[in-house]
Homo-oligomer: A and B are copies of this chain.
Amino acid sequence: MPDVVGPRNTPTDQSPRKKGWRKAEIIDMAALCFMERGYHATSVDEVADRLGCTKGRIYHYYASKIDLFFDVHREGMKKLFEAIEPAMKTTGDGLTVLHAMLMAHAKAMLEHHTFENVVAQGVQIHRFDATTEDQRQTMKLLIDSRDRFEGFFKDQIAAAIADKTLRDMDVSVTAKVLLGALQWSIFWYRARPDETVAEREELARKMVEPLIDGLRRN
C-alpha cells in the first residue's frame, strides 16, 4: 500500500533551492490569507490548508500566530525600503527626487499589495496581541521601521522646501497625505493575473501625477 501522503516537494519544484524557501512559502501564503480575511479572521489551520499541509508545519517554524504575522510585516517593510532606495540616490533637485520616491513607492504598493495590506493591519494590532516581552520588543521595532520610512519622505519634503522646488507647507501632514494617497490602494487595488509591469507602471503614474502637479489647471 502506497503512502497516503505523497512525497514532499523538492526545492526544484519551487524557486531555485534558496535556503529557507520552505519558510518563505509559508510567509507568502500567510500574507495572502491575512490580506483576504484579516489577521484575526484567519486561522492557522486555514493557512496550512491552502498550503496543502497541516498546522504542524507552521508551528515547526513559528512559535505563535503573531510571530508569523511579524515576519509577514517585516517582509512587507523590507520590500518598501528596497523599492525607494534607488530613487533616494537619484541626483536632482528636491522635488525631482521626491517625485521619483513617490513613483517607486506607488509601484511597490501595487506590486506587493498583498504584503502591504498586512503592514497596514499592523497599525491596529498594537499592544493587545503581543503578550510576551519578546513580542512587544519586535512590535516596537516594526513600528520604528514604519516611522523611519515615513521619515525618509518627511526629510525629502523638507529638503525640497529648502530647495525652493516645493512651496512651503506642513512637512508632517503633507507626508502623511501623500503616502496615504498611495497606500490607500490596498483597499481598491487587486492584481489581475495577466497584468504586465508596464500596466502597473502606467497606473502608478496616474496615481502620482495629480499629487505632483496638483489639481489646478495652470
Question: Which residues of A are at the interface with B, using a C-beta cutoff of 8 A?
Answer: 37-41, 95, 98, 120, 123-125, 128-129, 160, 164-167, 169-170, 173-174, 176-185, 187-188, 203, 206-207, 209-217
Q: Contacts A37-B124, A129-B41, A206-B169; is A176 near B188 (CB within 8 Å)? A: yes
Q: How far is the CB of A118 from chain B (nearest CB, A)?
A: 11
Contact present for A173 and B206 (CB under 8 Å)? yes
Contact present for B212 and A169 (CB under 8 Å)? no
Copies of the polypeptide in the assembly: 2
Name the 7 nearest CB pairs between A and B, nearest first.
A214-B214, A180-B184, A40-B40, A181-B181, A173-B206, A170-B206, A177-B181
Q: Contacts A183-B180, A184-B179; is A174 near B210 (CB within 8 Å)? A: yes
Looking at chain A's contact residues, is the secondary structure mostly helix, strand, loop, or mixed?
helix
Contact present for B166 and A207 (CB under 8 Å)? no
Among B40, B179, B216, point to the contact of A212 (Cβ < 8 A).
B216
Q: Which residues of B contact A214 (CB under 8 A)?
A: 210-216
Q: Which residues of B contact A206 (CB under 8 A)?
A: 169-170, 173-174
Distance between Cα atoms of A180 and B212 in the complex (Å): 15
Among B129, B177, B203, point to the contact of A173 (Cβ < 8 A).
B203
Q: Which residues of B contact A176 (CB under 8 A)?
A: 184-185, 188
Q: How far is the CB of A40 from chain B (nearest CB, A)?
A: 3
Q: Which residues of B contact A128 (CB under 8 A)?
A: 37, 41
Q: Which residues of B contact A37 (CB under 8 A)?
A: 124, 128
